[in-house]
Amino acid sequence: MTEPPLLSVEDLEVRYRVTSGWFGGADVHAVNGVSFSVAEGETIGIVGESGCGKTTLGQAILGLTDISAGAIKLRGTEQDRARRTQLQIIFQDPQSSLDPRLPVWRLITEPLHIRGGYTRKQLIERATELAVSVGLRPEHVDRYPHEFSGGQRQRIAIARALAVEPALLVLDEPTSALDVSVQAQIVNLLLSLQAERKLSYVLISHDVSLVRHVADRVAVMYLGQIVEEGPTLDVLDAPRHPYTRTLLDAVPSFDRPLNSIAPRAGELPSNRTLPTGCFFRDRCPSATTGCELPQVLVPADGLRTVRCHLVTRTGDTTLPRSAPGPVFSSPNDAIA
């Protein structure tokens, strides 16, 4: 028997109960049956449009959101306590996740402080060690968050997450509030920490080129479901699900002119009442008979799974394709 994976998410459902406001009464179906696993040292990228449930999924993994159905297992068991120490999360906006009244050493060691049993001196020592490991300077630990730039604040957040020696970090848009030059620094930090510590990452991002760079596997979400999952380059260079294609076509690229006008590039349908049949049907350029039935995620080619009967039943690859290949390339070739 093989060992259970580090993290496995099984048939996860998350519904938000909405009791007041304009849409009072109808539940929000944020995550609708998501399953995947992450091995030690592995990175899975989660991509998809705004509102498709990426953040909810990340929060559910951490136990920050109640789950409505399914299971989240760490090395095969469903223990909350293990999850609290083994899993940590990094948010998009480091500003809002750092208490402005606390010095950096206190922020970094917050998880240890909560756990208890450390002296002030031990906490400061540990904070200094962690600060240095994320590229801050030892004297930084006495300062307050407002004295730091966005990139430095994200380093502080990463140091804090590392304080409890986690096995896996959920990274929810970790660089999207940062400039590209600062993004490069944070990406490099994440890659080297992973190499040193065998960390696993769940990387949630809108940025397909970032996911392409960092992730081993990628899961594409639409309306709270995974529609395609597999090795990063397979999925991003030769997408099989029509939605993955739509998403990738919309990614701005140096190589490709703007698709004149993309009428399909619409918005997510409501997740108050889920569609019957394929969730992508009303936007799908390939919709045909059979699409009115619910779709399931089944193996397509290689290690990839796809939620579309056209792809998995016939095994054909005649989906409309535009310019396969890297998300962008070329300009760099010209720079000597």
Q: Is 247 in the site for another protein (CB under 8 A)?
A: yes
> Cβ 57 to Mg ion, closest distance in Å?
9
- For another protein, which residue of 31, 208, 291, 300 counts as binding (CB under 8 A)? 208
Q: In Å, how far from its chain's centre is CA 24?
A: 29
Residues listed for the chain: 336
Residue whose structure tokens are 């799974």? 305
Closest CB to ligand ATP among residues 28, 156: 28
Q: Say how far apart CA 273 and CA 295 lie, in whole Å.
A: 17
Could you tell me which stretch among 48-56, 113-121, 248-256, 280-288 binds ligand ATP (CB under 6 A)? 48-56
> Cβ 287 to Mg ion, closest distance in Å?
28
Residues that bind ligand SF4 (CB under 6 A): 242, 278, 280-281, 284, 286-287, 291, 295, 308-310
Q: Is 252 in the site for another protein (CB under 8 A)?
A: yes
- Structure tokens that stand for 305 in this block: 């799974």
Closest among 55, 329, 45, 77 to 210, alpha carbons compared: 45
- Would you say 308 and 246 are in contact if contact means Cβ atoms under 8 Å apart? no
Distances (CA, A) of 83 to 56, 63, 261: 16, 8, 46
Closest CB to ligand SF4 among residues 193, 284: 284
Could you tell me which stretch among 79-87, 98-106, 157-165, 245-253 binds another protein (CB under 8 A)? 245-253
3-class SS of residue 278:
coil
Closest CB to ligand ATP among residues 25, 138: 25
What phi and psi values does residue 306 have, to the nearest 5 degrees?
Answer: -140, 145
CA angle 16, 75, 81 (to 5 degrees): 60
Query: What residues line the site for another protein (CB under 8 A)?
Result: 22, 49-50, 149, 179-181, 183-185, 187-188, 191-192, 206-210, 212-214, 232-233, 246-247, 249-254, 256-263, 265-267, 326-332, 334-335
